[in-house]
Amino acid sequence: MTRVPPSPRLPDGGPLIEPVDVAIGPAAAGAAGAATERNNLRAMLWLLLSVVASSAMTVAVRGLSDTIDSRMIVLLRAGATLALILMALPLLPGIRARLRVTRPGLHLLRGLLIGLSTHLGFYTLSVLPLATATVLFFTAPIFATLLAMPVHGERVGPVRLSAVAAGFLGAVVILRPGVDGLDPCMIAALGSSVLFAGALTLSRGVAAVDGAVSAFASSVLVTFLLSVPLAWGVYDLPGTSLAWLVLAILVIAGGMRGYADIRAYQMGEAAVLAPVAFLRLVVVAAAGFIFFGEVPDGPTLVGAAIIVTATLVITHRESRAGRRKAKTPD
């Protein structure tokens, strides 16, 4: 008798299917492998939807920033999302029943990190070439790997540490510090990634205790409350029908991306999905060229290649570690 490893876990920490003890023969193993392939394929399709939605968000932020301050864009997006959540509560009692906050301090800290990360990220998108900003955002998993050591006590081996160092090298290539100093806009992009990595590190504890729905709702609420004073003095509303349409796209795409990410990582293996996630770089670079005439420069392309490679190595090693842990009997 062999114990089947637990299935992928829901964002709130619960397994999709409880593990059972079964006898595994060649036919059963083959069926399990086929099921895994089907799940990975479905997950890749969900992640492709996430790539499209996140790219639409990126273009929408840049388009709105021509007429509205980035701080106001964050406030409008958070306010609209919060309003949608409040309207959904009476209609969807299942969601209302899953809203709970047993560790308010953790929710508050995570919400602040997400809110500040969003503000820095939207500012970066408003002033930097879209491809450059997006590449720097992809350093978040690298920072998250470092934070996992002191926060969760995870052991990070020499391969992952080397990948982290390579990722930082890629960031330095893009930043290209010289006699003129560092570009503060690029520093803002890295700051956004560091803050988001901190939020990712806390997400495990929040989702395990209160669930993904509560984690999402609390982050939206905290981001909205944080944005009210930060946007003070730049309060403004879209002045044209087109701007309102772009704002609607931003809100809808944000929700689509969040749901698609959850579905993708529930179904598929992170190592399989990582290359798909990097398609976002291609889509955003193409959108930057089509809509804004932006062409990535040499250092950005070289740095992107280094960061992508480093992140793929980190994802692969973490996936292997997760499989080994799943095979270890309780």
pLDDT digits (tens, 9 = 90+) for 202-224: 887 787 788 888 888 999 999 99
What pLDDT is stored for residue 119 in this prediction? Answer: 98
Over residues 125-153, mean pLDDT: 86
Banded model confidence at residue 278, pLDDT cuts 50, 70, 90: confident
pLDDT at 325: 58
* Residue 239 to residues 58, 67, 77, 184, 236, Cα–Cα distance (Å): 20, 8, 16, 30, 9
The pLDDT-based confidence of 289 (bands split at 50, 70, 90) is very high
Question: How confident is the model at residue 182, as a pLDDT?
Answer: 76
**What value does the mean pLDDT take over residues 287-313?**
91
Q: Over 90: is that where the pLDDT of 264 sits?
A: no
The average pLDDT across 258-276 equals 78
- Please report the pLDDT score of residue 324 as a whole number: 60
Query: What is the average pLDDT score of the chain?
Result: 83
Convert the pLDDT of each residue in 88-135 to its tens digit.
988 888 888 888 899 999 999 999 999 999 999 999 999 999 999 999
Distance CA 303, CA 175 (A): 9
Q: What is the pLDDT of residue 322?
A: 60
- Give me 47's structure tokens: 């992640």
Domain boundaries, the chain: 23-327
* % of residues, the chain, pLDDT over 90: 43
Tokens of 147: 């934070």
Highest mean pLDDT (candidates 81-90, 148-157, 178-187, 203-212) = 81-90
Tokens representing 251 are 């809100």
The residue whose two tokens read 């998108």 is 125
> What is the band of 323 on the pLDDT scale with cuts at 50, 70, 90?
low
Residue 15 DSSP label: B
DSSP string, 239-264: -SHHHHHHHHHHHHHHHHHHHHHHHH
Residue 9 in this model has a pLDDT that exceeds 60: no
What's the pLDDT at 314?
80
DSSP state of 294: -
Give the Cα separation of 223 and 219 in Å (integer). 6
Task: Select, from the ranges 81-85, 150-154, 163-167, the one with the highest average predicted confidence (pLDDT).
Answer: 81-85
At 11 the pLDDT is 40
Count of CB atoms within 10 A of residue 5's CB? 12
pTM above threshold 0.75: yes
Tokens 């639409």 appear where?
Answer: 56
Give the pLDDT mean for 30-50. Answer: 79
Residue 50 reports pLDDT greater than 50: yes
Question: How confident is the model at residue 152, as a pLDDT?
Answer: 67
The pLDDT score that the predictor gives to residue 286 is 94
